[in-house]
Structure 1
């Protein structure tokens, strides 16, 4: 496959800036069709973004001979069915995070990719962003010595500006999202931990719905013992006061630490009482570096930047933290 001709299933708000335009901005890639169940909205998206075709039926997009790869950007409830359908049609899939509702569903998606022999990548796109590549480089160079433990706090008020806009707040309906806002934001954070530190040996957590303003849990805590001995502790609370909002990850090593917000553009290296800040330009389309890597993988020019097997690891962590 020399060039990727993408079709999007679910051209909603998340695709307006974060991902959609990037498909026409990386080499060997173009966006040729979009689908949304609301045909008027699909047509409007296609018109505004210069996309040649639009559909209100996923079957038609998947079976369009001009489409040779599928990006699935629906809510997680539909990820498994659309992924397996596209794979069965012989078309490689780039599926949004979280990969799906739970680990069992992720296993089925991975088995389908193996069964049909078709490529599958998951949109844990922070792996390809410059700031997180820099952090990974510092860790590999032992800039803070041997990593001892990681502390992560994600504290947000009920009206958080980190949550993508949508017509309905499906992110707090567990039947559609798999959980609550934890399931929307934590996949980024937990995948980075796996990207930095590898597989987990043990994980457990607590999830509760304290404020009861929606059906999903609004407070989650979790701890991980990685196979390499590194310990992680995380707290996610989505009902704090606006003034108490916090997005902070601290990686503490034997000779220093690295601190950064997962949803920000700067990180700090602390060594011997000296703090060095690294600032990165905001990306116009946050998924563009990852879409570039996925396109290289689909065209045989590179490796899979986030395989189903890797994404399954973070799905299992979320299950461990939130199971009742």
Structure 2
């Protein structure tokens, strides 16, 4: 295989700018087909983005001989089904986050990848962005000494949040999304914690629906003890006032702190009265660095930038935070 010829299943909002155009911008990569159950929308996407083929049936796209890799960008409910079909057809898969509805489903996807010996990568794309790589570099260099604990707050107003707007707002339906807005945003944050701090020793949490505005829980708190001894505390609340919105992750070490937003562009260091900031330009296509790495992985030119094994860890954390009883 000399070039990755992508088929996209689920060419919705996330593929318009965040990911879709990037597949044609990284070396040895191009989109050859897209699929959406609404045929008119699939055709419209293909025409606007210059994609040669479009389908309203996922199986037809997967079996297209011109397609040699699949990007799955549907709501999480369909991730497992389409991943299993694609892997069985011998086509490597790049699947959106969250990897699927829960950890049990994620394990089945991993097992299929092993069974068919076909590559599987998960779109925890912040791992590849310069800003979060800078945080990794600072931690690896022990700039703030030994890490003691992490405090994360994601507080959003119901009037306006970070989620893409959709007609039926499927992200608020746990049967489709796996949970609520927590399940859409937390994978970014929890995967970064795993990327930075490694294996988890234990985790627990509380998840409740305080407002009753929709079926999904709107407040989640979670704690993690990493095997390294680092302790994490996170709070996700989606019903605060507009004035109380917050997006901050603060890593405290024995010699200082590193703080940054998950959906921003600035990393700050405070150490012994000294302060420094690193500001990063916004990426036109936020997934492009990750898609570049995944393409190289599928071509046998690099490592898997986020394996199913790594993604399962974040699914397990979400399950432990939101389990009932």
Query: TM-score per shorter chain, which class?
Result: over 0.9
Any runs of at least 4 consecutive aligned residues in structure 1 with deviations exceeding 2 A, and if so which? none
Q: How far apart in 1 are the matches of 2:113 and 2:198?
A: 23
Shift of 1:161: 3.4
Using the TM superposition, name which of 283-292 and 156-165 deviates more. Answer: 156-165
Q: Which residue of the partner structure matches residue 101 of structure 1?
A: 101
Q: Deviations over 1:72-111 (max 9, x none)?
A: 0000000000000000000000000000000000000000
Q: How far apart in 2 are the matches of 1:222 and 1:208?
A: 12
Q: How far apart in 1 are the matches of 2:319 and 2:278?
A: 34
Q: Which residue of the partner structure matches residue 275 of structure 1?
A: 275
Q: Which residue of the partner structure matches residue 234 of structure 1?
A: 234
Is it true that 1:196 corresponds to 2:193 in the alignment?
no
Q: Deviations over 1:125-177 (max 9, x none)?
A: 00000000000000000000000000000000013331012221100100000
Q: How far apart in 2 are the matches of 1:159 and 1:49?
A: 32
Q: How many residues align?
A: 324
SS at match of 2:79: helix
Shift of 1:255: 0.3
**Which residues in structure 2 correspond to 1:285-304 (within 5 Å)?**
285-304=285-304
Is it true that 1:206 corresponds to 2:202 in the alignment?
no
Q: How far apart in 1 are the matches of 2:67 and 2:255?
A: 51
Q: How far apart in 2 are the matches of 1:58 and 1:79?
A: 12
Q: How far apart in 2 are the matches of 1:259 and 1:106?
A: 31
Q: How far apart in 2 are the matches of 1:220 and 1:2?
A: 45
**Which residues in structure 2 correspond to 1:113-124 (within 5 Å)?**
113-124=113-124
SS at match of 2:179: coil
Supply the RMSD in Å over aligned alpha carbons: 0.5
Unaligned 5+ residue runs, structure 2?
Answer: none
Q: Deviations over 1:184-218 (max 9, x none)?
A: 00000000000000011000000000000000000
Shift of 1:273: 1.3
Q: Which residue of the partner structure matches residue 135 of structure 1?
A: 135
Q: Which residue of the partner structure matches residue 87 of structure 1?
A: 87
Q: Which residue of the partner structure matches residue 35 of structure 1?
A: 35
Q: Deviations over 1:295-322 (max 9, x none)?
A: 0000001000000000000000000000
Q: How far apart in 2 are the matches of 1:24 and 1:150?
A: 38
Is it true that 1:310 corresponds to 2:310 in the alignment?
yes
Q: How far apart in 1 are the matches of 2:118 and 2:228?
A: 32
SS at match of 1:79: helix
Q: How far apart in 1 are the matches of 2:300 and 2:265?
A: 31
Q: Which residue of the partner structure matches residue 69 of structure 1?
A: 69
| TM-score (normalised: structure 2) | 0.99
